[in-house]
């Protein structure tokens, strides 16, 4: 087989995704093929029937998008990267391949039904909270995928990457300036992951909320020179800041209309509770050499098979029969004092009728040192300002504090009456 052959996979979002024989070999590995059996949006198809796509196709799309971003940055700021990171043409080619591999494998560690089950990751031994899916991804790259990453002729004859090189970029443990800069293409406020999932989720759900001008955003992404010995920063040229603004808004609209849809949230609740019954000890195996192999046996197919056999307790039965919890009350996204009084009254009035509550607790944009930097070079005068300084919308986009309150479907009418009585006079 020709190791230099280029393959193409048709993608409903990007048209065609190109990959070399090395990447094809990695994709063919069972640890990556597992992503075909993990849905991108969990049980969202219960609301949007077309949302049946998987982490497999998303991962290919992130690799494609990260490559477009990389190539555009090199076109727009090759001199900056050469001067501050020491790249020559061989260095640019080498890091391009490293970014592609990290983008391709960044989601290898997702658990069944993706983010919906992440709360069931075990606690880390060092006491720093629960493991994240990035740590699972890095462990899979260093473990089952090590041979596929390291042993291909294209790698051995041209790059010499180790599995640790790829895993370090995924988890952000690479200390070099190069690693810090390029990781923003994988995980950041303007990353390839976000760009792909917004467009892909919109496409499959059949909605327009997640759309933005991808091509304008890519054409204006750049590297901003570092100051005071700091490495260069990922940013956007001044002419592209409206496209960056649209990306932020697309994320907001997708969360409010799709990801935090009341019925989708109910299914997430049931899934987590059912998995607590299905998983030994109520949590997934850890991403450690002794447990990682067992973790990789968990995918959507296994969970669905167990549910079909009647496992998963009450919540498994509700998933199978579609007798999900019903939302009986919701607060506004930004709560006022009156909203808080209403919620307190509703909780008191419902009492044991409250089956579950789910807070949004989501900030759409971080106005800190991760604020998207807008770079302008006008007449030789260079300025850098955060996106929130340019966009009134982004600057005033507050945290979503909405809370959804659920009851059993068989008691919805009773609960709705109590809610009506509780908030009467506070409207």
Question: What's the pLDDT score for residue 364?
Answer: 64
pLDDT in tens, 162-202: 999 999 999 887 655 556 788 889 988 899 999 999 999 99
The DSSP output letter for 43 is T
For the chain, which residues score pLDDT lower than 70? 1, 174-179, 364, 367-369, 425-427
- Say which residue the tokens 């409010």 belong to: 256
Tokens of 265: 């949230």
Question: What's the pLDDT score for residue 64?
Answer: 98
Domains and CATH numbers, the chain: 6-324 (1.10.3210.10)
- Give the whole-angstrom CA distance, residue 250 versus residue 214: 11
- Say which residue the tokens 């640890």 belong to: 31
Note the maximum CA span of the chain.
75
- Give the whole-angstrom CA distance, residue 191 versus residue 58: 13
Please name the helix (run of DSSP H) or strand (run of DSSP E) that holds residue 67, with its range, or none: helix 55-85
Please answer whether residues 286 and 127 qualify as being in contact, where contact means their C-beta atoms are separated by less than 8 angstroms. Answer: no
- Say which residue the tokens 């919620």 belong to: 343
Q: Report, in this order, helix, strand and coil percent for the chain, each rounded to 5.
A: 55, 10, 30
Residue 170's contacts (CB-CB under 8 Å, 6 or more residues apart) are: 102, 105, 106, 134, 137, 138, 141, 186
- Give the whole-angstrom CA distance, residue 99 versus residue 413: 54
Please answer whether residues 48 and 85 qualify as being in contact, where contact means their C-beta atoms are separated by less than 8 angstroms. Answer: no
- Give the whole-angstrom CA distance, residue 353 versus residue 347: 9
- Give the whole-angstrom CA distance, residue 155 versus residue 149: 8
Work out whether the CA dihedral 80, 81, 83, 88 comes out positive or negative: negative
CA distance readout (Å), 160 to 21, 23, 303, 358: 16, 15, 39, 47
- Give the whole-angstrom CA distance, residue 251 versus residue 211: 9
- Residue 373's region, left for phi above 0, alpha for psi from -120 to 50, else beta, is beta
What is the pTM assigned to this prediction? 0.95
- Say which residue the tokens 């002729």 belong to: 153
């Amino acid at each position: 087989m020709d190791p230099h052959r280029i393959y193409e996979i048709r993608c409903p979002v990007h048209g065609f995704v190109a990959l070399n024989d090395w990447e094809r070999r990695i994709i063919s590995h069972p640890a990556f093929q597992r992503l075909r059996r993990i849905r991108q949006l969990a049980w969202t198809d219960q609301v949007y029937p077309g949302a049946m796509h998987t982490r497999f196709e998303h991962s290919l799309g992130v690799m494609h998008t990260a490559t477009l971003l990389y190539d555009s940055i090199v076109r727009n700021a090759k001199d900056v990267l050469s001067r501050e990171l020491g790249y020559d043409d061989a260095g640019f080619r080498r890091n391009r391949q490293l970014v592609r591999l990290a983008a391709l494998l960044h989601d290898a560690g997702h658990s069944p039904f993706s983010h919906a089950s992440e709360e069931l990751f075990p606690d880390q031994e060092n006491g720093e909270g629960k493991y994240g899916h990035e740590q699972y991804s890095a462990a899979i790259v260093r473990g089952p995928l090590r041979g596929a990453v390291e042993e291909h002729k294209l790698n051995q004859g041209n790059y010499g990457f180790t599995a640790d090189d790829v895993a370090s970029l995924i988890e952000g443990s690479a200390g070099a300036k190069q690693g810090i800069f390029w990781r923003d293409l994988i995980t950041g406020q303007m990353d390839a992951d976000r760009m792909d999932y917004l467009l892909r989720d919109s496409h499959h759900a059949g909605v327009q909320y997640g759309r933005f001008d991808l091509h304008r955003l890519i054409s204006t992404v750049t590297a901003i020179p570092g100051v005071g010995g700091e490495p260069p920063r990922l940013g956007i040229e001044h002419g592209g800041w409206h496209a960056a603004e649209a990306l932020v808004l697309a994320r907001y609209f997708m969360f409010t209309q799709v990801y935090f849809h009341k019925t989708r949230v109910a299914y997430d609740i049931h899934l987590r509770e059912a998995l607590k019954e299905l998983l030994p000890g109520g949590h997934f195996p850890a991403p450690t050499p002794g447990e990682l192999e067992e973790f990789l046996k968990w995918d959507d197919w296994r969970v669905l098979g167990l549910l079909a056999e009647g496992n998963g307790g009450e919540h498994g039965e509700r998933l199978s029969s579609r007798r999900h919890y019903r939302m009986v009350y919701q607060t506004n996204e930004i709560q006022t004092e009156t909203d808080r009084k209403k919620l307190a009254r509703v909780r008191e009035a419902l009492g044991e009728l409250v089956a579950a509550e789910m807070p949004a607790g989501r900030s759409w944009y971080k106005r800190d040192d991760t604020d998207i930097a807008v770079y302008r070079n006008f007449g030789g005068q260079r300025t850098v300002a955060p996106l929130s300084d340019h966009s009134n919308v982004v600057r005033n986009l507050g945290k979503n504090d909405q809370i959804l309150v659920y009851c059993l479907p068989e008691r919805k009418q009773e609960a709705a009456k109590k809610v009506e009585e509780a908030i009467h006079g506070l409207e």
